[in-house]
Structure 1
Amino acid sequence: MTAGIETIIYPVKDLAGAKARFTGLLGLDPSMDEPSYVGYRVAGQDIGLDPHGHSKGMTGPVGHWHVDDIEGDVTTLLDAGAQTLQEIQDVGGGKRTAMVKDADGNVIGLIQPS
């Protein structure tokens, strides 16, 4: 089951510059501020800045579906012809993420909240 797209992650080359732009745009400080990820919580939506996104295959912002069974959903997507861009990984606090590229070249992100 999915809760829908609740997270958008932007790949960024200059994390400090992107953080300044998004802080100004959103009018609030990040809720998470680490060298590997800066995140904001705005109106029930998570906005993330990933300085390693390009190396993971992200070519632009990626919507991440919040799911209950990340293993099952990744398997379903792979069985339908998707390719793995990022294996399932724990990103802290029990939250797990993965990314695939579908047969049309679209990047699909998945998050299983803790």
Structure 2
Amino acid sequence: MTTVADRLRIVPEFTSEDRGRLVDILSGKLDRRFKRWDPQQVELEISAKGRDTDQQRVVLECWISGLPKLVATSAEARLDDAIAEVRDDLFRQIDKHVTKQEGSRRR
């Protein structure tokens, strides 16, 4: 099982039938980034407000031991596009923190 599959909480806007699709979209890229932490150090939660409406907003929250809470959001109209956008945004945020930590260790 992957970190995303194991540690992802989905809130009521998504159903248990959505879980497989969510894990498929989120896992590949994020799991590569999560390899530096024990899976127990990672918590993920995804939610969607106004799902399938013009006001849709998808939020992916992430808690990783040693990092501040990370939040990625998307207002993309297509749900799959919104999920991919929050995945990519979260990846960038994690990468930024990892790069900053590695840079401070080198000094």
TM-score by length of 2: 0.32
Q: Kindly indicate whether structure 1 or structure 2 has the higher relative contact order, using CA contacts under 8 Å at least 6 residues apart.
A: 1
TM-score by length of 1: 0.30
Greater strand share, structure number: 1
